[in-house]
Amino acid sequence: MPDPNALLDAALAYQAIGFSVIPVKPNKTPYVQWTKFQTTRATPEEITAWWAKWPKASVAVVTGQVSSMVAVDIDSAIGQEAYKAQFGEIHGTCRQTTGKPGAMHLCFKPPAGVKLANSSRSLPDVDTRGDGGYIVVSPSIHSSGTVYTWVVDPVDSPDDLMDLPKAVQEWFWPASKEAAADKKERLDVQNLLLGVQKGQRNDICARLAGYYLRLTKGDIGQTKAILGAWNDRNQPPLEWKEVERTVDSISKRQGQEELSEALGGSLISKIDILSYPDGTAKYHVFFDGFEGYSELEPEDFTMQQKFIKKYLVITRILLVPMKPKVWASLVTEALKEASVIQVEAEETLLGAVMGIIDSEVREDRKCEDLSLVDNHVISINGSAFFSFQHIQNSLQFSNFKISNNQLGSLLRRLGCRKKKEFVGSDQKRFWEMELKK
């Protein structure tokens, strides 16, 4: 856990070199209404007040003209290979490692006065953050527990922030939507099928996969057969597993792209289905150009009007409704291609424990009498106090079965500490947890 003072110091240092800074939550959503800070930088006084209120907030930098910085977000080792295949190198600009293996942010200085929007998956596992976007930066902690770390730090080396290379700008930020469409379709298929050299294989594989999946209306088997013949002509061929993985990855986006297009443009970048041990499920829906995701109950996604409201809250964009049967068909196809994440029982129990504590520290149920700690969650000065047995009893009432050792381990994972104090003439044993502000 980074020192809160280090987070504030870093935020002020970024502001001093001209970056627009905002505080964000562990799930990357801003603590503040941040529209203003897309065009105006926060003052040192505002930043100091934010971190006084939220001392553990992650630091985010708003990208675009306001910070004179845009970012290429490479999400994996595959993304690195795709980037190198397209541009010949990982540019030696200011860059940081993020939370996933092979993931990084490459930061560039955009042309003065030129607004560059966010984009998604113009290369496999590569997004961009321009005007209207932001990135989380060091020394914040990623949800995986990894610390964001600068390899080339813009605070220490501001001159190392490269001007945006023309090739990178033209690829990710073409002059118009028509130009973007032309770029996507500009494939000399006949020549490419004769094979390509090392350094081009990953990028051409992804582009041919998208081309033939569209041409064959999503026939994965036929697309793999075509790319197998193509790969045999490469010098040298890719590993077959790499070709299969690329086709599978591209195919997973086809149904979601159709749903997006039916709604009037680029919309959904990814869907994760969280499958819980009790058989229930939730959807994490990621939208192009917006940080974080929307967590939806099944009815929020399958019922069009509820989805439109959720989308409006995140994007401030109102979608045009369509016929229910058309919506149902598109959602069904998109969900077939979603990633399924099995939620372990322990993670469910963590949520249940937090639910018990949160429900009892609400303003309408708040209790501040520590003498009642045996049977209540007590809320005093930003901390929750509770007995081990009270949490155990509440879990059993909700039909959760958990041993004393398991519960103790979960409480420690949540950052809880054992306490032993006299309350009046009685000695009380209880746990303390700092509440999130």
Q: pLDDT-based confidence at 297, cuts 50/70/90?
A: confident
**Single pTM value for the model:** 0.44
Tell me the C-alpha distance between 161 and 375, whole Å: 57
Is the model more confident about 304 or about 46? 46
The answer to whether the CB of 432 falls within 8 A of the CB of 411 is no
| DSSP codes joined into one string, 185-248 | H---HHHHTT--BTTTHHHHHHHHHHHHHHHTTS-HHHHHHHHHHHHHTSBSPPPHHHHHHHHH
Report the range out of 146-155, 254-263, 330-339, 387-396 with the highest average pLDDT: 146-155
- How does pLDDT run across 329-344, given as a tens digit for each residue? 777 777 777 777 765 5
Rounded-to-integer distance, Cα 297 and Cα 295, Å:
7
268, 256 Cβ separation under 8 angstroms: yes
pLDDT in tens, 308-327: 777 777 666 666 676 676 67
Cβ within 8 Å of residue 210, ≥6 positions away = 184, 250
Higher pLDDT, 249 or 180: 249
Mean pLDDT over each residue of the chain, to the nearest integer? 81
| pLDDT of 142 | 86
Express each pLDDT in 211-266 by its tens digit. 777 767 677 888 888 888 889 889 899 999 889 988 887 776 655 555 555 554 44
